[in-house]
Amino acid sequence: MKKICALVLGLLGAMNPLFAQRSNVSATPPMGWNSWNHFAEKVTEADVRAAADALVSSGMRDAGYVYVNIDDTWEGKRDAQGVIHTNDKFPDMKGLADYVHSKGLKLGIYSSPGPSTCAGYEGSYGHEDEDARTYAAWGIDYLKYDQCSFGDIIEQQAGGDQDKAASIQRAAYEKMHQAIMKAGRPMVYSFCQYGLYAVWQWGPDAGANLWRTTGDISDHWDRMSLIGFDQDGLEKFAGPGHWNDPDMLEIGNGGMTRSEYEVHMSLWAMLSAPLLAGNDLSKMTPETKSILMNRDVIAVDQDPLGHQAKRLWVEGPMEIWGKDLSGGRRVIAYFNRGEAAFDFDPRLSILAPLHGVRFKDLWSGNTIVLNEKSRLLVPRHGVLLLRQQ
């Protein structure tokens, strides 16, 4: 199956170079780390180097986490030629890229199609070609492009006309895509415009490898679960080279319980979402490591078919989601969003072909065989993630 997928992607790539650039850099959802959720505006070069070191020493790189993404607040001023420079927190971006690359990792950066970023730093408006060239010269491998102040420009130019607003926004994102293509260095291109104008419908054609589908996540059960469970229905837009992005991970930041973080990791893996850790990697507990580095769960996310899960059944706060994996196997998630433990009937009527099949419980490692008499106890804010053996 892997070979067939590679062949199909190769053929599409030969016909359309834009498609080739997209699929090659994100055949499976990007994995790595991003500075924003933990460090926010305070991030420095030292923090990014420490994150790169920790990706290697913790084993995360070898589990697939290879992007080291600097979010907002690295930007300095432009010089007389319009070339962007870093600020004092990032004295040597090329040196940092070389360091990150020497560790077998890739470096990501952040900008905005507007004149300023969300944190008020210099954006790329009117300087797209120069910026893409600068990123390529530094050795950047990933760009997150965040709408921010471009929203004001859209409002000025489109007034209340939603179609016009959508086309102005799309043109701005395409412009940077073209600039990246001209700069000649393959980069993952991540749209961040919070799911406006049904971006999943046009993002891939405008050059996106991934597109945020929502506003910002936070390290709280209510926000994480609202965002994650809301992704149902978007599954048809995801696939190799182009992914829905429900935002970065909060695992290890301290605002949720172990069980809630397992739901976070399981749900993102079911959704074929990018796995961008958002915690301080230099200070991880064994629990955080075990959640982020559960190889079975990562494999669900990184399955080469790239099928995003869909909701199969819901009753109040109880949900069953299913995802097809390569090799004809399935993975089923029993989610309990409720405030008390719940004894699930496995609902074999909707999973009929899976009657009597052996599953691996991906969090406990136990084997489970489902039949009509099975009961599946799932804790409050918890998940039972079962993969066909």
* 70 touches ligand GLA (CB under 6 A): no
Partner residues linked to 31 by β-bridges? 275
Q: Specify the residue, 29 or 346, whose C-beta has the smaller distance to ligand GLA.
A: 29
Q: Is 216 in the site for ligand GLA (CB under 6 A)?
A: yes
Region of 113-121, 183-191, 223-231, 374-382 interacting with ligand GLA (CB under 6 A): 113-121
The residue with its CB nearest to ligand GLA is 118
Output the CA angle 80-81-86, nearest 5 degrees.
80
Which entry of 47, 72, 131, 146 is annotated as an active-site residue? 146
Q: Which amino acid is at 145?
A: Y
Question: Does 48 sit near ligand GLA (CB under 6 A)?
Answer: no
* Residue 192 is a binding residue for ligand GLA (CB under 6 A): yes
CA–CA distance, 153 with 193 (Å, rounded to integer): 14
250 binds ligand GLA (CB under 6 A): no
Give yes or no for residue 71 binding ligand GLA (CB under 6 A): yes
**How far is Cα of residue 90 from the mean position of the Cα atoms in its chain?**
25
The verdict on whether 146 is a catalytic residue reads yes
Q: Is 235 in the site for ligand GLA (CB under 6 A)?
A: no
Nearest approach, Cβ of residue 42 and ligand GLA (Å): 12
Amino acid at 5: C
43 or 93: CB nearest ligand GLA: 43
128 vs 146, which CB is nearer to ligand GLA?
Answer: 146
- Residue 363 CA to residue 386 CA, distance in Å, equals 9
Q: How many residues bind ligand GLA (CB under 6 A)?
A: 9
Residue 144 and residue 193: Cα distance in Å, rounded? 10
Residue whose C-alpha is closest to residue 18's, from 207, 185, 242, 237: 207
Q: What is the DSSP string of 191-220?
A: EESTTGGGHHHHTGGGT-SEEE-SS---SS
Question: C-alpha 13: how far from its chain's center?
Answer: 23
Do residues 282 and 53 lie in contact, with contact meaning Cβ atoms separated by under 8 Å?
A: yes
- Judged by CB under 6 A, the residue of 45, 47, 72, 260 near ligand GLA is 72
> Cα–Cα–Cα angle for 110, 112, 118, nearest 5°?
90
Query: Binding of ligand GLA at residue 36 (CB under 6 A)?
Result: yes
Q: How far is the CB of 148 from ligand GLA (least distance, A)?
A: 6
Residues at the site binding ligand GLA, with contacts judged by CB under 6 A: 36, 71-72, 117-119, 146, 192, 216
- Tell me which residues are annotated as active site: 146, 216
